[in-house]
Amino acid sequence: MYTGKLVFSQVIDHLPMYTFRRSVQRYHGNYKVKSFTCLDQYLSMAFAQLTYRESLRDIEACLRSQPNKLYHMGIRGKVSRNTLSNANKVRDWRIYADFAQSLISIARRLYIDEDFGVELDETVYALDSTTIDLSLSVFPWARFRRTKAAIKLHTLLDLRGSIPTFIHISDGKLHDVNVLDHLIPEPGSFYVMDRAYVDFARLYTMNLCAAFFVIRAKSNFQFRRIYSHPIDKDTGLKCDQTIALTGTHTSKDYPEKLRRIKYHDAQTNKTLVFLTNSFTLPALTIAQLYRCRWQVELFFKWIKQNLRIKSFYGTTENAVKTQVWIAASVYVLVAIIKKRLNLDLSLYTILQVLSVNVFERTPLLQILTYEHYKTETAEYHKQLTLFN
């Protein structure tokens, strides 16, 4: 008897499957595949992310324990540890990268009016990276140190909803500033960055693209003051200056004027110096924008604690990138569900609830809002009496 969809199937219903099939066709993901398709691979890996599976053996054991429910989950092929391992190793990771990007575009439209702490109409991004340590003997392609391996996740985070709009996976040796070469600046948007991204030639390219940046300055950069703007020192501001670079190379790399803002943070008792090419925003707003950069640090902390990206199911570069992109798509999918169902729960709570209910047939909104629906029994006054 049909009693409703599985919770896992209700979650998957929020995915744009037409876009997924187009991604598979673009990279010929199902070429010469007989049973275990790219969709089966994705659903198995998404199940692993939602239920915190530690290994391929865990995925195989859990899914095989529910053989009658695999079809209703959307998994048509037989789940095998070797088959899933080979799929992660061979099938192009760009299938899942493109699909995750389509989910990101959906999520950004849903969170376009989300408040992030600063009253600003323009889009604000925070750029940063995090390092995931690996074993050099198991991941020799990700060489980081002499006896150590690692990968870096370079992420551009849209502060409205904390949605990752750009993810670049590299080995641990790639310096953060090189990621600016992979970015396409969006005109009118603000990019908030730390000192690791100070490269005036690349920043000038961003300026030519009509994009704005807010970056923390290094202590040894050379400049001359052109003009000082009036400030209110009671807000923590120390100075607001228009400057020009005077270094031998930096003056050629960035020939136009810059804005230098010095701010003392009373909470941390630190004095910070910011550089920006925006001359219209108030100086205090620039300082507040940099404070919002901390959201990207919280994002890295959250995904490391709640998704499976610190330990990997495969050892090849393709398997690692596949797992990271599927994890990112699951994160964005949960964010989409939160917005579509208008939930007040945190993403952490939603993941925890889903992890123990994936095989249930309860309506998704019911388990996420803790509502208990009861069917009222109708009273039939004209019921005939069977016995006197």
Q: For 311-343, how does the pLDDT look when each residue is reduced to its tens digit (9 = 90+)? A: 899 999 999 999 999 999 999 999 999 999 999
The verdict on residue 302 lying in a domain is no
Which residue type does 314 have?
G
State residue 1's pLDDT score: 43
SS3 content of the chain, % helix, strand, coil (to 5): 40, 20, 40
State residue 146's pLDDT score: 85
| Same domain? 271 vs 230 | yes
The verdict on residue 90 lying in a domain is yes
| Same domain? 361 vs 273 | no
Please list, in sequence order, all residues whose beta carbon lies within 8 angstroms of the beta carbon of residue 388, skipping any fewer than 6 positions away: none
State residue 20's pLDDT score: 96
The verdict on residue 201 lying in a domain is yes
Mean pLDDT of 21-42: 94
| Cα–Cα distance for residue pair 14/333, rounded to 1 Å | 7
Mean pLDDT of 281-308: 92
State residue 34's pLDDT score: 87
Q: What is the domain range of residue 84? A: 7-95+312-369
| Cα–Cα distance for residue pair 93/98, rounded to 1 Å | 9
pLDDT-wise least confident of 73-77, 87-91, 238-242, 375-379: 375-379
- pTM comes to 0.89
Which token pair is 31?
């070429």
233 or 378, greater pLDDT = 233
| Same domain? 268 vs 327 | no
The pLDDT tens digits for 257-276 are 999 999 998 888 899 999 99
Q: Is 55 exposed, middle or buried (0-12, 13-18, 19+ CB in 10 A)?
A: middle
The verdict on residue 265 lying in a domain is yes
With pLDDT > 90 as the criterion, what percentage of the chain qualifies?
A: 79
Neighbouring-strand partners of residue 12: none
How many folded domains does the chain comprise? 2
Is residue 64's pLDDT more than 80? Answer: yes
State residue 387's pLDDT score: 62
Neighbouring-strand partners of residue 272: 263
Report residue 219: phi and psi, to 5°.
-75, -20
The verdict on residue 137 lying in a domain is no
CA-wise closest residue to 148 among 156, 139, 157:
139
The verdict on residue 189 lying in a domain is no
The pLDDT tens digits for 121-148 are 899 999 999 999 999 999 999 989 888 9
Please report where in the chains the tokens 């495969």 appear, as a residue: 314
Q: Are 132 and 150 in contact (CB under 8 A)?
A: yes
Q: Are 125 and 156 in contact (CB under 8 A)?
A: yes
Cα atoms found within 13 Å of the Cα of residue 337, Cβ hemisphere only: 28
3-state secondary structure of 216: strand
Neighbouring-strand partners of residue 125: 158, 191
The verdict on residue 145 lying in a domain is no
**With bands split at pLDDT 50, 70 and 90, how would you rate the model's confidence at 50?**
very high
State residue 381's pLDDT score: 53
The pLDDT tens digits for 150-186 are 999 999 999 998 999 999 999 899 999 999 999 999 9
